[in-house]
């Protein structure tokens, strides 16, 4: 068994209003940042996994997204990285 | 066996001692107790327990002057919380505490963990927490930092209280330059317990196992107690302890598990692990019980790797409890904890040698006579001297006629928009105020009222205090803080029972600060005596200073009261058109230190309102009797903003705002001695309430007031929904649609706080 | 008539729901989330609170509790299930009701009395109300904005499955002002407002009491 | 001016308690996932920026992290990607 770190990104569906993203965009404007066209805020879940291989860790992480980490009604997910930890 | 230094421990140098917040004299005292040099671990232990926060080095003698007795007192100061008898077999358990420094550094977590800590003080007494209150002070909202702090603090309090399911039903918020560098975050918790189910945190029974319940221990907040006992400065940035993160979910489980443990009979004592963590909880519990403890710090479940005994002993990780179980009942304790998905771990035993002994596996790392550790902490009697500059400000004369040709209507509008006076809806709508379904009167008026299920009783709760008055005149200000709390309780119809306090001051080693502290406490003590409300406990928070100076001396008073029949409670809002508006108490038009005065002059000066304690007591009695007889349709006391603001609030607070017609001539006095109009409208007299009564009840109320010797004047009538608020005094007239007043009052906070920069994503925006 | 009030770690309106059921003349029992036995209850209530701290997403973790299998079976048998606030969130996460509840549009927790219109009386929990009747009840939530795709929303409306709607003040930005919905079988109802906090005039409203007074309609079987 | 998408990851400091991560780890275990050693939950902020160059976009995003997107007291941040949008 080896240790891996898997990084999952869960974002609100683009079709869904993201009031938090809007609030951040607005606040950035007030702070004087120019050129902020849009902001979306989602979640990052960093998993430390024991697995036989990177492939197994990746599969595990994807299964966790499907079951728990993302809500299929409102969110999309992506597995950004699987690295030895 | 004697404690020995561990490999890698830093040597005992003057620098190390200083970094622990201990003086050379204090080190000598420690050597005297131990008969040798302390080990590094022991130095850490003394540092924590002898910090101002734990040992009350500078405040103990002063606090001794508080009245603490009364027939209603079941538990005075000295336990985790005070306890007062309510009747019908029930008792109220309550306490207030500060989390100012952690909140200045990290407002969200600082405030959240403050709530967590005060909750634990209540349920360790066997009481179920039924209400939270929060008293907050920030710099002006015109600046970004105070806005950021306020958003974070309110969200932190809300998220914690909402999650554990305890309604936050009251509090107060005020703003002033004096708090810009050092905000105040004081939280109060109130619980209910059957009198015969009270438990006290006293270790007993040599051989009984000591167990830790709840979260694992990490490196959070090591040295938090000594951090709380130093001024905030640029250096405190680097010395600042690891931020403590609150976990209200675990706290909720701890509440349930602790109450079940207490009810089970398997434990003899339980104490939360607050400031200075395992060290202070174990040492205090042992000292109270007159026993020793023998602990293995290595048995404590940890969250991080390679923690040292020093770190384990001083960690302030949240959501942990220390339990003394009955011998042989470890399994039962573990089982109860497991049902609540918590762990319980035995880490040592109660002993009969009175020694506070800590092991790390086979090594003994600390061995201190327990009683000396807690009771031989140094006590100081600092010098006290009034600041001449403040004395001059107090004596400075007010502008003649209370200010040059003001537009009084515009002044009223501006006062209602001041963040200190404006509606606090922005705050309390972020708090769950109705969970537990006992909130009979929530925030928005004066005190909140809860019902006590299964009895006819009502429980009234309030917290607050004016730092300005105390700054200008500590003695009068101290009296005023208690008198205002008592009025807030009494206007609901409840009888004040007792107080807890949170005394927020600057550095007590400065004579000007210690003077404020001593005099304010004298005022509090006198007022509590006169009002029959003993002090049952509280908290001292010194060193509330920033490079810009000390905060206003701000003793916050948390008060509870009881209504024999909750259905007789009285709200602040006018109820019915045609009701007679009555002013109770003598109006003196006191503008010193008032919001109006600083509005028109930009300064804080003058003599703050004086409190006639006998009159204050009479007003309380009169309000309580008026409510008991069912005479009062509404009652609201005068505080910031004076009579005009109080009347406007009575109109605006109705579900559908009600207009009114009030002529204050009757309370202004007759010419040539008549008070100036501005003084009558906006003076912050400490002893006045505005009530409304059905016309048929007016005569009986007058009789009640007469019997209590309370001056009474009928000043007007309640108008129609959406009508005009009309005020007349002398030749002056103010008239505004009550709906317009309400818009301004409701907008004061949102227009400054909603949207824009100063938000924090880390606090979930 | 017997109610089972499910307690998850972090539930905090369990006692309030229990009291509301008893006040309506029913018997009530608590069921711990690890249990799979509903003890013969006629009605299941998933109460409000913060199950598992609402960490990750409200209701996301609780929906995997063992008791949910029994609740799903109860629902599949056409028997009444009521999810209040966090309970509604759990039901959506579990797929027993469509859609999801996300962060309030105002980004802050909100607690206040709101007006809620009863849209249909064809559920066991609204049988005692008239459609169009407006009730006063508190809301108290941070993640109460009901969302679903347009097709789902249209279908809910078409099938008369929107049970409650905010009347005027929409406190969380819910799509189409939806405050509560029901499933196809009409026996599972979820709502964000708290009827159990509005069962006595002393608490500011007793408009919610009839939600628990389901007598005859009851078992629905 | 061109458009870029910058992705910022903000995580709680490793030494701080992460109750959210703990709860997720516990839940994954109960769901039968083996080998989950640790979980930490943080935030992803996706910024759509108008900037002269990728370098300018990167600098802008980093400045935003310092001012608003991350809490310097409790969080660490990383810029995961800056791509033309
Ligand atoms: N921080 C707060 N948390 C909860 N309620 C608050 C807070 N601040 C003010 N309130 C509520 O708003 C109302 C008005 O507060 P305040 O003006 O301080 O009242 P008073 O002058 O009677 O003490 C009270 O009901 C109070 O409990
Ligand atoms: Mg008041």
Q: What is the pLDDT of residues B335-350, one digit of tens each?
A: 999 999 999 999 999 9
User: Which chain D residues contact residue A33 at CB under 8 A?
Assistant: 60, 63-64, 67
Least CA distance to D9: which residue of chain A?
Answer: A44
Confidence grade of residue B755 (pLDDT, cut at 50, 70, 90): low
Token readout for B697 is: 């009840």
Q: What is the mean pLDDT of residues B124-135?
A: 97
- Coil vs helix vs strand at B277: helix
Domain count, chain C: 1
Asked if pLDDT for residue B564 goes beyond 90, the answer is yes
Active site residue C196: yes
Residue ID of nearest Cα to ligand 1 atom 21: B639
Q: Which of A72, A80, A79, A75 is nearest to A18 (CA)?
A: A75
> Is residue A45 a contact partner of residue A69, using CB atoms and an 8 Å limit?
yes
Cα B450–chain centre separation: 18
Residues of chain D with pLDDT under 50: none
> Is residue B186 a contact partner of residue B96, using CB atoms and an 8 Å limit?
yes
Contact A44 D49 (CB under 8 A): no
Helices and strands counted in chain D (H then E): 2, 3
Cα B763–chain centre separation: 24
B214-255 pLDDT, tens digit per residue, is: 999 998 877 765 555 566 555 454 445 678 999 999 999 999
B20, B58, B99, B101: the active-site residue: B99
Q: Determine the structural domain holding residue C127 and report its residue range.
A: 2-218
How far, in Å, CA of C3 to CA of C29, rounded?
6
Q: Which of B94, B35, B43, B325 is nearest to B207 (CA)?
A: B325
- Coil vs helix vs strand at A70: coil
Confidence grade of residue B276 (pLDDT, cut at 50, 70, 90): confident
The residue among D16, D17, D26 with the most chain B CBs within 10 A of its CB, best to mutate, is D17
Active site residue C157: no
Domain count, chain D: 1
Cα B444–chain centre separation: 18
Q: Are strands B448-451 and B439-441 parallel, antiparallel or unpaired?
A: antiparallel
Within 8 A by CB and 6+ apart from B237, the residues are none
Q: What is the pTM of this model?
A: 0.96
Min Cα separation A25/chain D (Å): 9
> Is residue B410 a contact partner of residue B735, using CB atoms and an 8 Å limit?
no
Q: Please work out, in degrees rounded to the nearest 5, the angle formed at the alpha carbon of residue C184 by the alpha carbons of C179 and C190.
A: 30
Residue A43: which of D35, D37, D43 has the nearest Cβ?
Answer: D43
Confidence grade of residue B284 (pLDDT, cut at 50, 70, 90): confident
B312-341 pLDDT, tens digit per residue, is: 999 999 999 999 999 999 999 999 999 999
**CATH code, domain with C119:** 3.40.50.880
Residue ID of nearest Cα to ligand 1 atom 8: B172
**According to the model, what pLDDT value does residue B765 have?**
39
**According to the model, what pLDDT value does residue B286 have?**
87
Contact D17 B105 (CB under 8 A): no
Residue A28: which of D10, D50, D64 has the nearest Cβ?
Answer: D64
**According to the model, what pLDDT value does residue B4 have?**
81
Token readout for B604 is: 């804080």
**According to the model, what pLDDT value does residue B730 have?**
86
Residue ID of nearest Cα to ligand 1 atom 16: B172
Q: In 10 A of CB B456, how many CB atoms?
A: 14
Subunits adjacent to chain B (3 or more Cβ pairs under 8 Å):
A, C, D
- SS3 of chain C: CEEEEEECCCECCHHHHHHHHHHCCCEEEEEECCCCCCCCCCEEEECCECHHHHCCCCCCCHHHCCHHHHHHHHHHCCCCEEEECHHHHHHHHCCCCCCEEECCCCCCCEEEEEEEEECCCCCCCCCCCCCCCEEEEEEEECCCEEECCHHHHHHHHHCCCEEEEECCCCCCCCHHHEEEEECCCCCEEEECCCHHHCCEHHHCECCCHHHHCCCCCCCCC
- Coil vs helix vs strand at B380: coil
**CATH code, domain with A52:** 3.30.1280.10
Least CA distance to C99: which residue of chain A?
Answer: A73
Within 8 A by CB and 6+ apart from A47, the residues are A5, A6, A7, A8, A61, A64, D36, D38, D39
> Is residue C163 a contact partner of residue C120, using CB atoms and an 8 Å limit?
yes
Q: Which ligand is nearest to the CA of B635?
A: 2
**According to the model, what pLDDT value does residue B204 have?**
83
How far, in Å, CA of B507 to CA of B101, rounded?
13
> Is residue C136 a contact partner of residue C197, using CB atoms and an 8 Å limit?
no
How far, in Å, CA of C103 to CA of C174, rounded?
10
How far, in Å, CA of C38 to CA of A5, rounded?
41
**According to the model, what pLDDT value does residue B764 have?**
46
Atom of ligand 1 nearest to the CA of B442: 25
B65-100 pLDDT, tens digit per residue, is: 999 999 999 999 988 899 999 999 999 999 999 999
From residue B763, alpha-carbon distances to B546, C109, D13 in Å are 24, 12, 15
**Mean pLDDT, all residues of chain D:** 94
Contact B317 D17 (CB under 8 A): yes
C13, C74, C85, C92: the active-site residue: C85
Tell how far the Cα of B571 is from the centroid of ligand 1, in angstroms.
14
D3-26 pLDDT, tens digit per residue, is: 999 999 999 998 899 999 999 999
Subunits adjacent to chain C (3 or more Cβ pairs under 8 Å):
A, B, D
Q: Determine the structural domain holding residue D64 and report its residue range.
A: 2-84
User: Which chain C residues contact residue A13 at CB under 8 A?
Assistant: none
Asked if pLDDT for residue A23 goes beyond 80, the answer is yes
**According to the model, what pLDDT value does residue B164 have?**
98
Q: Are strands C188-191 and C81-84 parallel, antiparallel or unpaired?
A: parallel
**Mean pLDDT, all residues of chain B:** 93
Q: Which of B109, B76, B111, B108 is nearest to B91 (CA)?
A: B76
Q: Which residues pair with B658 in a beta bridge?
A: B721
Pocket test residue of B424, B439, B463 for ligand 1, highest count of atoms within 8 A of CB: B424
Instruction: For chain A, say whether D82 makes contact (Cβ under 8 Å).
Output: no
Atom of ligand 1 nearest to the CA of B445: 25
**According to the model, what pLDDT value does residue C41 have?**
96
Residue B765: which of A23, A30, A31 has the nearest Cβ?
Answer: A23
Q: Which residues pair with B209 in a beta bridge?
A: B349
- The phi and psi torsions of B93 (rounded to 5 degrees) equal -115, 125
**According to the model, what pLDDT value does residue C220 have?**
46
Token readout for B646 is: 């109080």
Q: In 10 A of CB C58, how many CB atoms?
A: 28
**According to the model, what pLDDT value does residue B143 have?**
94
Interface of C with B in 51-80 (CB under 8 A): 52-55
Confidence grade of residue B201 (pLDDT, cut at 50, 70, 90): confident
> Is residue B539 a contact partner of residue B503, using CB atoms and an 8 Å limit?
yes
**According to the model, what pLDDT value does residue B224 have?**
63
The residue among C54, C56, C66 with the most chain D CBs within 10 A of its CB, best to mutate, is C56
Report the first-to-last Cα separation within chain B, whole angstroms.
55
Q: What is the mean pLDDT of residues B125-150?
A: 96
Contact C107 A19 (CB under 8 A): yes
pLDDT > 70: percent of chain B: 95
User: Which chain C residues contact residue B252 at CB under 8 A?
Assistant: 9-10, 12, 50
The ligand 1 site (C-beta within 6 Å) comprises: B 134, 136, 168, 170-173, 424, 427-428, 443-446, 464, 488, 639
B662-699 pLDDT, tens digit per residue, is: 999 999 988 888 999 999 999 999 999 999 999 999 99
B533-554 pLDDT, tens digit per residue, is: 999 999 999 999 999 899 999 9
User: Which chain B residues contact residue D22 at CB under 8 A?
Assistant: 247
Pocket test residue of B96, B107, B428, B449 for ligand 1, highest count of atoms within 8 A of CB: B428
How far, in Å, CA of B46 to CA of B568, rounded?
52
Residues of chain C with pLDDT under 70: 215-221
Interchain CB contacts (distance < 8 Å): A and B:
21
**According to the model, what pLDDT value does residue B404 have?**
55
């Amino acid at each position: 068994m080896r240790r891996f770190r898997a990084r999952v990104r869960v974002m609100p569906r683009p079709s869904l209003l993201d009031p938090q993203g809007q609030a951040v965009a607005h606040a950035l404007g007030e702070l004087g940042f120019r050129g902020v066209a849009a902001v979306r805020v989602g979640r990052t879940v960093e998993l430390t996994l024991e697995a036989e291989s990177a492939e197994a860790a990746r599969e595990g992480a994807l299964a966790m997204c499907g079951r728990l980490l993302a809500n299929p009604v409102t969110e999309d997910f992506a597995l950004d990285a699987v690295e030895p930890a | 066996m004697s404690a020995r230094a561990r490999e890698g421990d830093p040597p005992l140098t003057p620098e190390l001692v200083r970094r622990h917040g201990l003086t050379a004299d204090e080190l000598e005292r420690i050597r005297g107790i131990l008969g040798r040099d302390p080990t590094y671990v022991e130095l850490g232990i003394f540092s924590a327990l002898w910090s101002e926060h734990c040992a009350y080095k500078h405040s103990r003698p002063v606090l001794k002057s508080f009245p603490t007795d009364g027939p209603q007192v079941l538990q005075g100061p000295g336990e985790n919380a005070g306890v007062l008898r309510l009747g019908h077999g029930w008792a109220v358990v309550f306490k207030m505490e500060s989390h100012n420094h952690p909140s200045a550094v990290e407002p969200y977590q600082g405030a959240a963990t403050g709530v967590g800590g005060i909750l634990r003080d209540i349920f360790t007494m066997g009481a179920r927490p039924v209400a939270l209150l929060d008293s907050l002070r920030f710099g002006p909202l015109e600046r970004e930092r105070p806005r950021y702090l306020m958003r974070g603090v309110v969200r932190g309090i809300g998220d914690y209280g909402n999650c554990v399911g305890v309604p936050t039903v009251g509090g107060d918020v005020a703003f002033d330059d004096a708090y810009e560098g050092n905000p105040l975050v004081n939280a109060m918790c109130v619980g209910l317990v059957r009198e015969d189910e009270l438990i006290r945190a006293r270790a007993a029974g040599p051989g009984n196992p000591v167990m830790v319940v709840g979260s694992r221990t990490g490196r959070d907040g090591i040295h938090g107690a000594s951090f709380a006992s130093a001024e905030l400065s640029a250096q405190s940035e680097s010395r600042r302890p690891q931020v403590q993160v609150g976990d209200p979910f675990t706290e909720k489980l701890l509440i349930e598990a602790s109450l079940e443990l207490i009810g089970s009979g398997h434990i003899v004592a339980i104490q939360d692990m607050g400031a200075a963590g395992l060290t202070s909880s174990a040492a205090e519990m042992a000292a109270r019980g007159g026993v020793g403890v023998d602990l293995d710090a290595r048995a404590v479940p940890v969250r991080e790797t390679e923690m040292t005994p020093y770190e384990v002993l001083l960690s302030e990780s949240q959501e942990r409890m220390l339990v003394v179980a009955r011998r042989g009942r470890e399994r039962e304790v573990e089982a109860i904890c497991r049902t609540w998905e918590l762990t319980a771990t035995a880490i040592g035993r109660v002993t009969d040698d009175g020694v506070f002994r800590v092991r790390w596996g086979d090594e003994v790392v600390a061995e201190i006579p327990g009683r000396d550790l807690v009771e031989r902490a140094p006590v100081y009697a600092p010098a006290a001297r009034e600041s001449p500059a403040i004395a001059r400000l107090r004596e400075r004369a007010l502008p003649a006629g209370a200010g040059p040709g003001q537009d009084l209507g515009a002044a009223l509008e501006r006062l209602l928009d001041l963040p200190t006076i404006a509606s606090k809806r922005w705050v309390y709508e972020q708090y769950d105020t109705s969970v537990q379904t006992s909130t009979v009167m929530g925030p928005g008026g004066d005190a909140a009222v809860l019902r006590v299920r299964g009895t006819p009783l009502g429980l009234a709760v309030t917290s607050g205090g004016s730092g300005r008055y105390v700054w200008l005149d500590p003695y009068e200000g101290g009296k005023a803080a208690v008198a205002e709390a008592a009025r807030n309780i009494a206007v609901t119809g409840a009888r004040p029972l007792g107080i807890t306090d949170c005394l927020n001051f600057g550095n007590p080693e400065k004579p000007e600060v210690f003077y404020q502290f001593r005099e304010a406490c004298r005022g509090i003590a006198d007022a509590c005596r006169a009002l029959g409300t003993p002090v049952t406990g509280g908290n001292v928070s010194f060193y509330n200073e920033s490079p810009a100076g000390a905060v206003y001396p701000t003793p916050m008073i948390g008060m509870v009261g009881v209504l024999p029949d909750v259905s007789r409670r009285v709200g602040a809002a006018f109820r019915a058109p045609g009701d007679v508006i009555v002013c109770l108490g003598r109006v003196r038009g006191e503008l010193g230190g008032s919001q109006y005065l600083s509005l028109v002059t930009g300064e804080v000066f003058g003599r703050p309102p004086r409190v006639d304690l006998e009159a204050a007591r009479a007003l309380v009695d009169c309000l309580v009797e008026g409510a008991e007889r069912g005479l009062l349709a509404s009652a609201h006391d005068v505080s910031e903003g004076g009579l005009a603001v109080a009347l406007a609030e009575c109109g605006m607070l109705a579900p559908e705002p009600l207009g009114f017609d009030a002529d204050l001539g009757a309370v202004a006095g007759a010419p040539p001695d008549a008070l100036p109009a501005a003084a009558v409208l906006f003076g912050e007299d400490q002893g006045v309430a505005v009530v409304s009564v059905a016309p048929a009840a007016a005569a009986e109320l007058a009789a009640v007031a007469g019997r209590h010797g309370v001056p009474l004047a009928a000043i007007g009538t309640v108008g129609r929904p959406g009508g005009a608020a009309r005020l007349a005094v002398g030749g002056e007239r103010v008239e505004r649609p009550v709906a317009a007043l309400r818009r301004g009052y409701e907008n004061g906070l949102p227009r400054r706080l909603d949207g824009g920069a100063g938000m924090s994503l880390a606090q979930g925006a | 008539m017997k109610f089972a009030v499910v307690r998850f770690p972090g539930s905090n309106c369990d006692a309030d729901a229990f009291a509301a059921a008893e006040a309506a003349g029913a018997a009530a029992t608590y069921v711990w989330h690890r249990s799979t036995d509903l003890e013969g209850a006629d009605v299941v209530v998933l109460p409000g609170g913060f199950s598992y701290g609402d960490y990750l997403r409200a209701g996301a973790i609780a929906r995997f509790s063992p008791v949910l299998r029994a609740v799903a079976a109860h629902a599949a048998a056409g028997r009444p299930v009521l999810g209040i606030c966090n309970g509604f969130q759990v039901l959506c996460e579990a797929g027993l009701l469509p859609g999801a509840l996300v962060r309030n549009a105002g980004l802050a927790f909100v607690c206040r009395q709101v007006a809620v219109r009863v849209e249909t009386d064809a559920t066991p929990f609204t049988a005692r109300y008239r459609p169009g009747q407006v009730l006063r009840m508190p809301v108290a939530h941070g993640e109460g904005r009901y969302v679903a795709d347009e097709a789902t929303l249209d279908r809910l409306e078409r099938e008369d499955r929107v049970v409650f709607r905010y009347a005027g003040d929409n406190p969380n930005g819910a799509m189409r002002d939806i405050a509560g919905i029901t499933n196809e079988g009409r026996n599972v109802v979820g709502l964000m407002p708290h009827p159990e906090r509005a069962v006595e005039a002393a608490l500011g409203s007793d408009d919610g009491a009839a939600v628990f007074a389901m007598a005859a309609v009851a078992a629905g079987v």
